[in-house]
Amino acid sequence: MISLSQVRASTNRIVVLGNHEGIIQSILDFDYLSGQKEGSIVGIVTGRHGFAKYFFARREILIPTWAIIPNLPRIHNTNYWFFNNYSGRRTLSSTLDLLTSNNSPLKPPFVGGVIFAEGVPELHSLQIIAHNKTLIIGPASVGLIVPGVLKLGAIGGITPAQIDEGKLTEPGHVAVISGSGGMTNELIHVAIAAGHRLSFALSYGGDRFPILSPHDAFLLAESDPETRVVLYYGELGGEDEYELVQLQAEGKFTKKVVAHIAGTVASLFPESPQFGHAKAKADKAKTTALAKRAALKDAGFQVSNSFAEFIRLVNKLK
């Protein structure tokens, strides 16, 4: 799997599967505001050959549209990424095509990508996980951002004002990790309002089987020399937080974490309700929000009892 240091040290180019005008334009706006001389998107797979009109600053540009991905040139120090905007039904076939058919000398392998679709069948996610050796984030992910370097998805907003106000082109030392797309953006806002800047941010997705697990997202942060602190937002359901505790116990994760685990209200019901994300339901005592908060606190993580307290903890970071 590619490291964040390698991402920062390279040129990054993106192939988009399916047209999403707002997200595509936001990536181009990010590229321009980051001082890049050209947009990072090299083509859009739409099922037909032609061109799509977009803007790079005030200049109108044409991005090639393809029926299928053509042979892409191997360029020294260039990473190819994908943003998969296809429906959940088409996610498996389109992603496996990228992972298995782009290893010839004429088709450079993709180093990773983002799957935007919700509702990807769980069996399909597991099949992608079995084939994957790259940095793929999702399904149901708003994306990955490395400030000033790479914006892969809707993460951080899709207007120039959101990119500018979010300081998404200014690198820093705070990472944001969450399954929730909305809360990923909220944590970015909290960090920036407290005067911090991001080293990276990602939403691994709200499905039961994210291709990049929280465990691997934390290892990504651990290996990143620019990341000093991780802001993490989790939920009731699943046992991801116990894997994070184990990482720290084994000495594989050493950085400061400020965490909030949502869903304590579920303990007021006779049976735990299903919340918005597929995994957000506590089916046993250790998967409740209260139990996971306690486990993280016992391991030495900073854990808030309310989101207001989470904001106060972030404001105290140096």
In this structure, what DSSP letter does residue 134 have? S
Contacts of 21 (CB under 8 A, 6+ apart): 54
The widest CA-to-CA distance across the chain, in whole angstroms, is 59
Count of beta carbons in the 10 Å neighbourhood of residue 170: 12
Alpha carbons 91 and 100: distance in angstroms, whole number = 14
Cα dist. 75→3, 36, 72, 107, 108 in Å? Answer: 19, 17, 9, 11, 9
Alpha carbons 96 and 157: distance in angstroms, whole number = 28
Helix (H) or strand (E) holding 41: strand 41-45
Catalytic residue among 20, 124, 196, 277: 277
Query: Is 131 known to be catalytic?
Result: no
230 phi, psi to nearest 5 deg: -115, 130
Alpha carbons 189 and 227: distance in angstroms, whole number = 17
Residue with the two structure tokens 């080293």: 199
Alpha carbons 160 and 172: distance in angstroms, whole number = 20
**Torsion from C-alpha of 283, 289, 290, 295, nearest 10 degrees:** 100
Among 271, 211, 212, CA closest to 236: 271
152 bridge partner residues: 144
Catalytic residue numbers, as ranges: 277
